[in-house]
Structures are given as structure tokens and as C-alpha cells.
Structure 1
Amino acid sequence: MPGRDVDLVVIGAGLSGCALVAALKSKGWCGTIQILEAGRGPGGRSATRRRRDSPLWRLDHGTPTLSFQSEPCGQLRELMTSLEQRGVVRVDRDPVVGLDHLGAVVAPPDHPLLRGPRWRGIPTMATVVETLLSDGGNSVDARFGERIQTLSRVDERWVFPGGLRGRGLILSGTLLAHPRSLAMLGWRDVPLREAVPEGHDSVLDEALAWIANLNASIRWNLMVQFPAMDSDSLPRQIWLTPRAQQQFGVERIVLQRQQQGGLGLVMHGLDDGALITPETQPQLMTVQEQRLLSLLPEILQPWPSLQGLVSNAHSLGVMRWGAAQPLDQGMPNALQWCRRVRVGFCGDWIAGSGFGMAEGALQSGLDLAELIAS
């Protein structure tokens, strides 16, 4: 990477970033792309946890499905059809139940992620982003474990540590463009604002003002390994009702059967509003792990076979997921690509009806590719 010049630097290898590079390739765009991803591999909130000591162990620790508000159409339908035909996804019809504040199993709550059609990645959610990334072709290079600490623009090029320079910059998340970066990264100002002064690009100014109005949403996802058991009678997802969510501070539990007979569990914990900074995050992750583990026996009461194995379960730690909540009126298409400074935006925060809506992530990548290639 030292001294390398590329046409686009894409920060984030989640659904939207990978959909973008695949769509650019399909449109015949011939530029070079460097993806920088903080995680160990592609996926973002569609990532899959793998264990070095157990190659068959795979746990989707972010979103368990690709959720849509309604049946996809146009380019989005074409993309999903292609993924289905290649065996990368299948329609998700696995059982979903609700759990109320009294510990009774009820109908699942009315939630945007459950209203429309859903697909699962085969064999895991990471397969979807891995496929999209490979569809980008040989002009795409991805580097993982790359956390961006500086952001600057020199001589109309975006400059990164190690000498990487890009003519264009794509943000698939809001962290470098949203005021929450001040606390989480210890910046004095929004990183993108520091790199491009106000007034230099009126479209970027509008985009940053729109992004500043977004509210951040945080999840603390506890990953747990259960021993082998008969899991045929268990639901795939357990959604807590609004009152139960308020009582327990948990959104849902997702169960994932393992090939070798074990069971993986992910508890999506809600945030309590504590300030997250580089200094406080390690302690917060420990506190959240202990809190969520302590809730498991009570929440799993309706499933005695699973509840009885809690004492033999093994915690795999907590993942913190942060994202901006999309506004009712999505980001105007004209703000997705700021041509003067060549900055683009994609992600589920651009349009959609909730945290983790794959429809908004994929569609925003397709829309941005159209703008860049035009």
C-alpha cells in the first residue's frame, strides 16, 4: 500500500461498501479501489465470527438476516435474484417468537426488521459480503484491521498513513462525518470537516449538516457458545416486546445451530447511554458482558433445555455495534456524491426504517455506483 494511488478509497467493507464495488464493476467502471476495513474480514454488521480452534464454528454476531420493508424491485431485485441463484442467500422462514416482560412467549412485536421479506446468508451472513467483494474484480484491494485515525486532503487527493492516496473517498458509515466522532475518536472536530473546510464544497456542507441530525444507535452483542443439544424445537429469533426490552435492556436473542452439533447464541443488548470513548470502551464491554450473561437464565426460562445449559455455556465476548438511525426522509440522492471533493456516502443510515435494514444498505450502494459511473 505505501505510495499507492487509487481512484477510490472505500472505508468499510460492510453490505453497502461491498455492494458499491460490485455495482461499479457491473457498470463497466474501470477505476481502482482500495477498501479499508477495521474488522478482521469483510462484513461490518453482516460479519461472521470464526474460531481458530474450531474451523466449523461460525456465528453471525451482527444482523442474522437481510431485511427489507417490501419486495425488492429494479436493480435491487436483480441483485437478490443473482445471489439466490448462486446459492449465496435463501429466503428466511425460520421461526420467530416474542417474549413479554412476564417471561411468556407471545407473538413477535411489530418491528421494521420483521415486517417485510428476509433472506439468510448461506452458510453465513459473511458469505454475502464476500461474494459482493469478489464481484468487484481484480481492481479492488481490501485491507483489514485498518482503523482510520487521520483524514486529510492534499493536492486534491485523500491521503492516508503509509502513503495511500485516493482521488475519491467513500464513507460507508457515519463515524468520520458525525459529531459522535469527537468523543469516540478523540477528535477536536468532525474528521471530514477538518479535512474540507466549510464553504469549499456546498454539496458536502449540506451532506454534513444532514448527517449531524442523525441519532446514533448502539448495540452490545454478547456471543455465547452452548454445548451440543437437540435444538430442533428452538426458535431462530426471540424478540422481546417493547416493555420487556425496557425491563431487561435487551432487544432480541438469535440462535444459530452449528455443523458439529453445538449452538451459538447472540444477545443483542441495548445501550444505556454511557459515554463511549477510547478510554471507557474496554470497561464498558466488560460491564455489558457481565450484565447480559446474568440475564440469560431469566430470559431463557420458557426453553428449559436451553436454560439448563447456561452454566455450561462459554462466553465469546461482546461486540459493540454503532450506527446512525435513518431519518424518516432519507438523504437526498444528490448529497450522496459530492463531485467537487469526490466524497461519497452509502450505508443503511441513508434510507430505511431502522437499525440494520439491509435494504437501505444495498440500495444506497447501488445508487452511489450510478452517480459515480455517470
Structure 2
Amino acid sequence: MKNIYDFVVIGAGISACTFASFLNKRFSDSSILLVESGRKLGGRATTRNSRKNKILEFDHGLPSISFSQDTSQDILSIISPLINSKKLLDISNDILLMNEFGFLNNAFTNNKIYRSFPFMINFCEEIINQSINPKKINYLFKTLIKSIKRVNDIWEIQVNPGSFIESENLILSSSLIAHPRCLEILKTNSLPLRDAFIPGDDNVVESVLRETSKLNYIKRKIYILYISYVELVQKLNNQYLHILFSNVIKQDYNFERVIFQQQSDGSMIVLLHCFYLNNITEIKIENIISTLASLFVNYPIFSDLFLKARLIDIMDWRASQPLKNLLPKELQWSSNSKIGFCGDWFDIDSRGGGVESAMNSSIRLAKLLNWK
């Protein structure tokens, strides 16, 4: 007899883990499978081990999480124990802003800025650990969705040629297979969610497809730099230093922020986040180094670090954050087709930013559902 899951969740980032954990608290015997294209939990919040130097470990996507002063009680129930146990650290004082004149100041904000300890991936792990029956939450990593279709009231998800997963309910924690950008990223000729339905069969899905097509996404390129000079690294006092750039610098250079992450051997990984509203462009590493050194000319400790840095990798995030036209929360669940949607692409009243909104949407969806 085939194993039919109660819920298959596409994605294993913060939104998916929040949904799975809260659903497990409601229905501890329901079987849940998270399908993820990456190698482990986290999505953009995952932590990477360098393939060339196994000792290097760093957060290459989401470097921090912002929570507002109006954080919901549901999210507080997740993060309060982690803050109290020092598994979620307040790094607000380690967030600086560089203005267009080359001077650093504290990045004043009404929100608290946190990072998971010791790495960002641990946040997702801790969310799952708070479930009632974590043994019922399963994972399938390094797996791309090839197609989805509904056959005799069961969702059939093709993950590899000739390999299928079946589930009574399907949850999309990302808009990818519903958004036109899917065509380029997955190199497919049509949207998997569109192919799963005859037009007009499900009004909720039709609305999701229509509204999702209006979403524009910030694109990001991350340059991963390595500094082996321990004596220079030791001069930095801030353990979790983030430097944001002013709007003028963003417009002139596409530099969004630079993250400093000390390594266990005393070396350092520096991640330069560049953002693009249109096409992603390549910047020569020599130009990056010289620009960073000139921007930080008033702070020799930083300019010296950059001049000693070498590029070890580049990552493109082609769909890292939706802009405007977020979907209304009423489109989160179709009882007709047993398909649900959650993530930062939904308009949930959260002032803390994308992560807080994504978590609230996941919690709301988990509360909406009935099982058996």
C-alpha cells in the first residue's frame, strides 16, 4: 500500500517550519512531509558549509530577523523561550548604518533585530523542536518539484522522473511554482500550479494565480569573501556586526549591506549583499574591493580587512523578497482542492518585516485547517 501523507509542504524555510510545527501542535498524529530543493532546513535562513574548506560555516542568505513591538502572541510563544535560553540573540546594537558621507552610526529602529545562535539554521530547528510530535514531521531534501496534479482527491507530486509523492493536502510555502519567475528558475515551459487545474475549476486558485503574477521581487547577489588574516580579524569587537548602506550608496553601487562572520579558526567570512530591482549585473571583484575600501576610508580597520579579502563564491537569490501587491489572507486556503498557501507573499498585518509576516501567515493557515 502506498504511503499517502496527510500534508505535503513545498519548502522547508521559516514559513514552512512554522506551519508544520503549529499544525503538529493541533494534530499531533498527522503526517507531514517538507520537500526542499536545498540540502537542509532554512531556505534563505539556512547555514552553509563551504565545500572547499569544511571548517568554514556561515549564514549566506538571511543574516538576521526583525520583530516589531506588536509581535503576535503566537510568535512570542515561539521566540520568548529562545530569547530566554540565549538561542535567539538581540543584535540590535551590532547593526550600523553607513551614510553617503562615509560615517557609521547605529541603525535606529523601533524593531528588535535578532539572530539565531549559533547559526540562523538553528531558528528553524528550534521551531520544529517546539512541535508536540516531531517524529511525524518528515523531510525530503535536494528535491525539485517537477509537476503537481490532483487525482481522485489526492495530490500527486512528481519530484523526479518516475518518482511521485502523494498527499491529501498540499501547502505551498513559496510562491515559486505559482509565479512566472518559475519559468526561468526551474527552466519549465508552464507554471506547475497552473497545470494542476483546469481554468475555472477553483476560484481560490484562480485568484492566487492572478494576484501572484502581479508580484515583483527584489533580486539579490551575494559576494562571499574570505579573510584569513587572524590578527586583522581580532581587531573587530562586534561579534555579529552588520553594516547597512544608505539609499544613496544603494543607488550608486547596488550595495545593500555587509555582514561579518568570524569563524572558529579565527578567520572571517564577509558577505556583501547587493540588491537589484531589474536585471542582476556582475561586478568585478577588483571593483568591489576598491569600492568598499574607499567607502570605509574613515575606518582603516575595515578598509584593511577588505583589501585582504578574496572572493570564494557568488550566490544569486532571484526571488528573495516580494514587493507590494501582496496577496490577501482570504486566499490562503481552498477547501475545494485542499491546497493552502503561506509565506511573506501574503498581506498579513506584521510590522516586523518579511519573516514576521511569513510566520503569522503560516500560523493563521495552520489554525484554519481541519483534519479528518
TM bracket, shorter-chain basis = 0.7 to 0.9
> Could you say if the C-alpha distance between residues 126 and 191 of structure 1 is closer, same or farther in structure 2, counting changes exceeding 3 Å?
same
**How far does residue 356 in structure 1 lie from its aligned partner after superposition?**
6.4
* Secondary structure at 2:330 match in 1: helix
Give 1:101 shift.
3.2
* Cα pair distance change 1:193/1:243, threshold 3 Å: same
After superposition, what is the alpha-carbon deviation per residue over 1:5-26, rounded to whole angstroms, capped at 9, x for unaligned?
2111111111000011111111
Partner of 1:361: 358
State the partner residue of 2:172: 171
Q: Hey, what does 1:242 align to over in structure 2? A: 247
Per the alignment, residue 76 of structure 1 pairs with 75
Residue of 295, 299, 309 corresponding to 1:299: 295
Instruction: Say which SS state the counterpart of residue 83 (structure 1) adopts.
Output: helix
What SS does structure 2 have at the residue aligned with 1:364? helix
Please name the residue that 2:146 is paired with. Answer: 149
Contact 2:227 2:269 in 1 (8 A): yes
1:274 maps to what in 2? 279
Q: Could you report, residue by residue, the CA deviation over 1:335-374 in whole angstroms, capped at 9, with x for unpaired residues? A: 1111111111111222367996221121111111111247
Q: Partner of 2:202 in structure 1?
A: 201
Question: 2-side partners of 1:288 and 1:125: how far apart?
Answer: 27
Matched, 1:252 2:257: yes
Task: Tell me what 1:279 maps to.
Answer: none
Give the direction of change, closer, same or farther, for the CA distance of 1:121–1:72 in structure 2 (3 Å limit). Answer: same
* Structure 2 unpaired stretches of 5+: none
Write the distance in 2 (CA, Å) between the matches of 1:106 and 1:90: 21
Q: Match of 1:256, SS?
A: strand
Q: Distance in 1 between matches of 2:97 and 2:345?
A: 26
Secondary structure of the residue that 2:183 maps to in structure 1? helix
Change (3 A) 1:302 1:147: farther
* Cα deviation, residue 3, structure 1: 5.1
C-alpha deviations, 1:313-351, integer Å up to 9, x for none? Answer: 2323122222342537x5333211111111111112223
State whether residues 51 and 57 of structure 1, in contact with CA within 8 Å, keep that contact through their aligned partners in structure 2.
yes
Match of 1:127 in 2: 122
Aligned length: 358
Unaligned runs of 5+ in 1: 276-283
| Aligned match of 2:305 | 309
1:232 aligns with 2:207: no
Given the superposition, is the C-alpha separation of residues 166 and 288 from structure 1 closer, same or farther in structure 2, using an over 3 Å criterion?
A: farther
> Aligned partner of 1:70: which letter?
Q
Residue in 2 that maps onto 1:210 = 211
Deviation at 1:106, TM superposition (A): 4.7
Cα deviation for residue 157 of structure 1 reads: 2.3
Instruction: Tell me the distance in 1 between the aligned counterparts of 2:48 and 2:257.
Output: 18
Describe the shift of the 1:324–1:122 C-alpha distance in structure 2 as closer, same or farther (beyond 3 A).
Answer: closer
For residues 126-152 of structure 1, give each alpha carbon's deviation from its aligned partner in whole angstroms, at most 9, with x where no partner exists.
101122234441111112111223233
1:182-237 deviation per Cα after TM superposition (whole angstroms, max 9, x unaligned): 23333333220111122111112122222222111111112222222224345811
Comparing 208-217 with 80-89, greater Cα deviation is found at 80-89
Contact 1:158 1:165 in 2 (8 A): yes
Task: Return closer, same or farther for 1:356/1:148 CA change in 2, 3 Å cut-off.
Answer: farther
Q: Equivalent residue of 1:138, what SS?
A: helix
- Seen in structure 2, the aligned counterparts of structure 1 residues 100 and 274 have a Cα distance that, compared at 3 Å, is same
Deviates more, 1:178-187 or 1:47-56: 47-56
Q: CA 1:370 to 1:294, structure 2 compared with 1: closer, same or farther past 3 Å? A: farther
1:250–1:269 contact (8 Å) kept in structure 2: yes
The answer on whether the counterparts of 2:92 and 2:112 sit within 8 Å (CA) in structure 1 is: no
Deviation digits for residues 99-144 of structure 1, max 9, x if unmatched? 2334333554x7xxx5412221011111011222344411111121
Separation in 2 of the partners of 1:197 and 1:300? 56
Q: Give me the whole-angstrom Cα distance separating, in 2, the residues matched to 1:292 and 1:47.
A: 25
Q: Measure the CA separation in 2 of the matches of 1:293 and 1:155.
A: 58
Quick check: 13-22 or 210-219, which moved more?
A: 210-219
- In the alignment, the residues of structure 1 paired with residue 323 and residue 305 of structure 2 have an alpha-carbon distance, to the nearest angstrom, of 39
* 8 Å Cα contact 1:15-1:43 kept in structure 2: yes
Q: Are the structure 2 counterparts of residues 307 and 75 from structure 1 closer, same or farther at C-alpha, using a change threshold of 3 Å? A: same
Q: Which amino acid aligns with 2:234?
A: D
With normalisation by structure 2, the TM-score equals: 0.86
CA distance in 1, matches of 2:352, 2:10: 19
Relative to the length of structure 1, the TM-score reads 0.86
My pick for the range that moved more, 156-165 or 230-239, is 230-239
Judge conservation of contact 2:223–2:272 (CA < 8 Å) in 1: yes
Equivalent AA in structure 1 for residue 124 of structure 2: V
Q: How large is the RMSD of aligned CA atoms in angstroms?
A: 2.7
The residue type paired with residue 274 of structure 1 is N
Letter in 2 for 1:167: E
